[in-house]
Amino acid sequence: MQNKKKCVSCSNIMDISARVCPLCNIKQPNIDLTITTAVETINTDGYKYCFACGTKIKSMAEMCPSCTAMQPMPKANVAQSTRSRSTAALFAILLGIYGAQRFYLDKITSGIFYVVFSWTYIPFFISLVEAMIIVHSKDDTFNKKYNANNKFKITPCSFGVKVFVTIAFIFIVLGLVFIIFALLISFRQGPQGLDYMIEDIKDFFLYYTI
């Protein structure tokens, strides 16, 4: 409604250049259309300037009391939530089995799925892959997967978190491979072989922890 004004008599909304109200035929005050004061600039004292006549008016005024020109209202600045890729990656590598990174990125439905099936350890393995995607993917790829509607302002992942997540991922994968091979060898040797493997693991932890 920037090019409109209200009639001083009947409040009918009309074109800003109208000299007479088409509804009540009352003559309207002249407005100098050459003045181009920006109304978006609001002073700290809560006032702005009419875009038509330049009169100082209250910042929330919809109409200038001097020239009756309708004023465009300033757009409110809506704060956008911020999400950190570093935090999301740490959630994925440390608490991924419970879908912490999913809840953090507002993926509530899939987060509940992670919690429900956490006893299967499937979410744990999925989260390991997600942690690597979060820290190493490009911004476009990350936003397409986790921030499709640009709901959040995403901050980049720090170098330290990238290193930590990568090293943790490698150690976890190597540990899983070792356990799988150990189990396969133990099963081939029968129940006695499995007992030996358990004893070896106990001795290993006792040796390095005491």
pLDDT in tens, 119-174: 998 999 999 999 999 998 887 788 778 877 777 788 888 899 999 999 999 999 98
pLDDT given for residue 39 in this prediction: 40
Give 5's strand partners.
14, 69
Q: Same domain for 151 and 175?
A: yes
Q: Same domain for 33 and 98?
A: no
Distance, CA of 134 to CA of 142 (rounded, Å): 7
Q: Same domain for 55 and 128?
A: no
Range of the domain at 171: 82-209
Q: Same domain for 131 and 182?
A: yes
Q: Same domain for 91 and 60?
A: no
Q: Among 76, 105, 130, where does a domain finish?
A: 76
pTM (predicted TM-score): 0.54
Distance, CA of 124 to CA of 204 (rounded, Å): 25
Q: Same domain for 59 and 29?
A: yes
- CA quadruple 68, 1, 49, 19: dihedral sign: negative
Q: Which one is predicted more confidently, 205 or 164? A: 164
Q: Same domain for 24 and 87?
A: no
Q: Same domain for 157 and 141?
A: yes
Q: Same domain for 115 and 195?
A: yes
Question: For 112-124, what is the mean pLDDT?
Answer: 92
- pLDDT, tens digit, 9 for 90 and up, residues 20-44: 778 777 777 666 555 444 444 444 4
- pLDDT, tens digit, 9 for 90 and up, residues 182-204: 777 766 666 666 666 667 666 66
Domain count across the chain: 2
pLDDT given for residue 21 in this prediction: 78
Q: Among 26, 45, 76, where does a domain finish?
A: 76
Residue 111 near residue 99, CB atoms below 8 Å: yes
Q: Same domain for 197 and 105?
A: yes
Q: Among 55, 76, 97, where does a domain finish?
A: 76
Backbone angles phi, psi at 185, to 5 degrees: -65, -40
pLDDT of 208 above 60: no
Q: Same domain for 71 and 112?
A: no
Q: Same domain for 197 and 146?
A: yes
pLDDT given for residue 99 in this prediction: 92
